[in-house]
């Protein structure tokens, strides 16, 4: 009975996604790839893709650097305000997005690529911190002491000993940060400005106008594919860490 209930729940959750994927491969009942060809020939989509991929890469890079440094500093100094790092994860995303918008307005900060980038970084740092901290808290700190005893300074120890130990966590955190930035909608729509549009915003703008074309389904399928690939690698890395 429980298995049937679980099956029904998953069917309700994923049936709409499956329908979107199927519709992107058919035209009047015939299998086709022309909707995907239309996606790659649309300059507006290609520009939105470039914006999304650039935003995801840069936000991942900066959030991993800052989040890893924060996790390392937290463990070394034994700070007592760890809960502050969980705030972006706990509070509703729309609340954080609105707060960022009001903050930008207060500073008269121009809305566009950089405003969205800063918002994504601020959100992703928390996830990187949690993942990397979990990795670093499980290793013997005596390894660093041995490195220092053998003549390496603190900088050399950090890059040659600590970073390799934390690397599985860093890679996993990078995948999560990239995925969160890649398909983020709420924070992006609140902090973007005229002329800057990502793929989620492009899909939303067309769907809001009732333009639900097979090309839009194909674009959604491609985004789902990228997110699923990243999720798969994250799960594989997490299993190896254990």
| Average confidence score pLDDT of the chain | 85
- Does some domain include residue 175? yes
> For 92-149, how does the pLDDT look when each residue is reduced to its tens digit (9 = 90+)?
889 989 999 999 999 999 999 999 999 999 989 999 999 898 888 877 677 777 777 7
Residue among 214, 173, 218 at smallest CA distance from 199:
218
Residue with the bigger pLDDT between 209 and 177: it is: 177
The residue among 101 and 223 whose pLDDT is bigger is: 101
pLDDT band at 16 (very low <50, low <70, confident <90, very high): confident
pTM score, whole prediction: 0.83
Q: Residue 21 falls within a domain, yes or no?
A: no
For the cut 80, the answer to whether the pLDDT of residue 167 exceeds it is yes
Residue 201 covered by a domain = yes
In a domain, 48, yes or no: yes
Mean pLDDT of 168-195: 90
Domain hosting 97: range is 43-241
DSSP secondary structure letter of residue 55: H
What is the number of domains present in the chain? 1
Q: Is the pLDDT of residue 169 over 80?
A: yes
Model confidence band, residue 239 (pLDDT cutoffs 50, 70, 90): low
The single residue listed with the structure tokens 């300059």 is 43
Please, which pLDDT band fits residue 56 given cuts at 50, 70 and 90? very high
Residues 190-218: pLDDT tens digits?
999 888 999 899 888 887 777 677 888 88
33 within a domain of the structure (yes/no): no
For residue 131, is it within any domain? yes
Sequence-distant contacts of 79-87: CB under 8 A, at least 24 apart:
85/125, 85/126, 85/129, 85/130, 86/126, 86/130, 87/126
CATH, residue 112:
1.10.3720.10
On the question of pLDDT at 78 being above 70, the answer is no
Query: Is 10 contained in some domain?
Result: no
Q: Report if residue 208 sits inside a domain.
A: yes
Helix (H) or strand (E) holding 27: strand 26-27
Residue 97: phi and psi, rounded to 5, are: -65, -45
57-71, 80-94, 107-121, 175-189: segment of lowest average pLDDT: 80-94
**3 vs 95, residue with greater confidence:** 95
Beta-bridge partner residues of 13: none
CB–CB of 60/128 below 8 Å? no
- Output the CA–CA distances (angstroms, integers) from residue 95 to 49, 88, 91, 134, 186, in the order listed: 26, 10, 7, 27, 10
């Amino acid at each position: 009975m429980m298995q049937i209930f679980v099956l029904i729940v998953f069917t309700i959750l994923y049936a709409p996604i499956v329908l979107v994927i199927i519709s992107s491969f058919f035209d009047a009942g015939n299998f086709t790839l022309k909707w995907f060809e239309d996606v790659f020939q649309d300059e507006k989509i290609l520009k939105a893709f470039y914006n999304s991929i650039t935003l995801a890469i840069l936000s991942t890079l900066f959030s991993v650097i800052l989040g890893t440094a924060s996790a390392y500093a937290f463990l070394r100094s034994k700070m007592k305000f760890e809960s502050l790092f969980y705030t972006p994860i706990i509070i509703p995303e729309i609340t954080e997005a609105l707060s960022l918008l009001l903050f930008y307005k207060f500073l008269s900060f121009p809305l566009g690529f950089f405003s969205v980038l800063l918002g994504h970084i601020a959100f992703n740092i928390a996830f990187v911190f949690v993942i990397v901290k979990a990795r670093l808290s499980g290793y013997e700190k005596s390894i660093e002491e041995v490195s220092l005893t053998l003549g390496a300074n603190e900088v050399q120890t950090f890059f040659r000993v600590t970073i390799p130990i934390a690397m599985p966590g860093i890679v996993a955190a990078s995948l999560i940060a990239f995925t969160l930035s890649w398909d983020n909608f709420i924070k992006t729509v609140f902090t973007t400005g005229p002329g800057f549009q990502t793929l989620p915003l492009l899909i939303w703008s067309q769907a809001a106008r009732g333009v639900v074309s097979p090309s839009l389904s194909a674009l959604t399928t491609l985004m789902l594919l990228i997110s699923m690939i990243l999720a798969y690698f994250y799960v594989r890395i997490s299993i190896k860490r254990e």
